[in-house]
Structure 1
Amino acid sequence: MLRSPTKNDGGLTEWCRETASALGMPELARRVRVGWNGRMQTTAGRAWWPDRLIELNPKLKELPPEEIWRTLRHELAHLIAYERAGRRRIEVHGAEWRAACAELGIPHEQPFHNLPFKRKRMKRNFAYVCPQCASTIRRVKKINRMVACYACCRKYSGGLFDTRFRLHEQKL
């Protein structure tokens, strides 16, 4: 399923398929697709799991070709990390992603780009604090359901939701 007006890129898709196949990931090799999304403004690329879709910002075409390939590898690393994790929850730019980046030839990849795209800054008007570790999470939107501190749930509850670590709204 395509999420937005994405124009498929057969050459980049084929490269991703060959790379996934070489890494022993037949399902990813079979299903991965790469496309250009003209609606992207601030982000260089996006990886959609479990759709196995990579979307790239067409503005990358105006930059040196190595930026396209670095961004493609960055996004493919996300899909590889999720493919390997299966149903296990992982951090977006965590250890699994960093390991996949290293395999793809970008061992010191950073989570965010510094490309000359306009930045979209959104004010985070809501803050939530964990009663256990006192860490604060700032959000653009209000949380309308029970949410617990992910780090504390992992550390003390085997990754399962635990009301002891429920986030409480903090007044700003």
Structure 2
Amino acid sequence: MRRKPWQLVFSWLPQPATAVKKRLAAQMPDEVLTIWCRETAAALGLPELARRVEVSWNNRMQTTAGRAWWPARLIELNPKIENIDPEQKWRTLRHELAHLIAYERAGRRKIEAHGADWRQACADLGIPGESVFHQLPLKRRKIQPKYLYGCPNCRSQFKRVKKISKPMACYPCCKKYSNGKYDERFRLREVKGEKSI
């Protein structure tokens, strides 16, 4: 099986304000779950996490049950899990809180997302042996790529769902000829006549 060629993304500009506004509009804070997380973190002796952790529902989530953001100390949950099983909401919340606890305890030390520190945090939260992946019936949708881009140097082709809006280059060519740095010579170009794949 052939591995897909890598692509480099170079973005020196901040995110557009509209993207940030859309993201914030899609989130609904949950005060009850936030209070529970703060009390739990305080009981585990993590005062900074207890002070800053926040939980919200993210309407934009499709297949992910939850997500933890470090160092922002934010937990996002998929609203669909409430309709599936009430217990699943609490299990997902504990799973995501375990990530924040593991990072909080590690300090500056680098840890694996689902490594020993996370497993210990799961055990402390009453979910020992927690699975890395959920088995929830969240509908996965397969999106067909609409765009085809090519490297002018090596002729590798890249299928994309969205049109490329930022400078993007072929990683193997940049690595081989430019020490891994962006080089305009290897910037991906849309292959004309092949828009619908």
The one-letter amino acid of 1:41's match is Q
Counting only pairs closer than 5 Å after superposition, residues 72-91 of structure 1 correspond to structure 2 as 72-91=93-112
Distance 1:143 1:99, change over 3 A: farther
Taking the aligned partners of 1:121 and 1:100, their CA distance within structure 2 comes to: 34
Matched residue SS, 2:76: strand
Please report how far the alpha carbon of residue 121 of structure 1 lies from its aligned counterpart in structure 2 after TM superposition.
6.6
State the structure with bigger RCO (CA 8 A, min sep 6), 1 or 2: 2
How many angstroms does 1:119 deviate by? 2.9
AA aligned opposite 2:88: E
| Runs of 4+ with deviation above 6 angstroms | none
Judged with a 3 Å threshold, the aligned counterparts in structure 2 of structure 1 residues 64 and 52 are, in CA distance, closer, same or farther, namely: same
Query: What SS does the aligned partner of 2:121 have?
Result: helix
Matched, 1:24 2:45: yes
Letter in 2 for 1:19: T
Structure 1 or 2, whichever has the larger Rg, is: 2
Question: Which of residues 91, 101, 110 in structure 1 aligns to 2:122?
Answer: 101
In 2, Cα distance between the equivalents of 1:99 and 1:121? 35
Unmatched 5+ stretches in structure 1: 123-139, 147-172
Q: Secondary structure at the match of 1:81?
A: helix
Seen in structure 2, the aligned counterparts of structure 1 residues 117 and 22 have a Cα distance that, compared at 3 Å, is same
TM-score by length of 2: 0.60
Given the superposition, is the C-alpha separation of residues 63 and 83 from structure 1 closer, same or farther in structure 2, using an over 3 Å criterion? Answer: same
1:143–1:84 Cα change, 3 Å:
farther
User: Counterpart of 1:127?
Assistant: none
Could you tell me how far 1:118 is from its partner in structure 2? 2.0
Say which SS state the counterpart of residue 60 (structure 1) adopts: helix
Report the CA distance between 1:92 and its aligned residue: 0.4
Number of residue pairs aligned between Structure 1 and Structure 2: 130
Query: What SS is found at the alignment partner of 2:48?
Result: helix
- SS of residue matched to 2:95: helix
Indicate the percent of aligned positions where both proteins have the same amino acid. 67
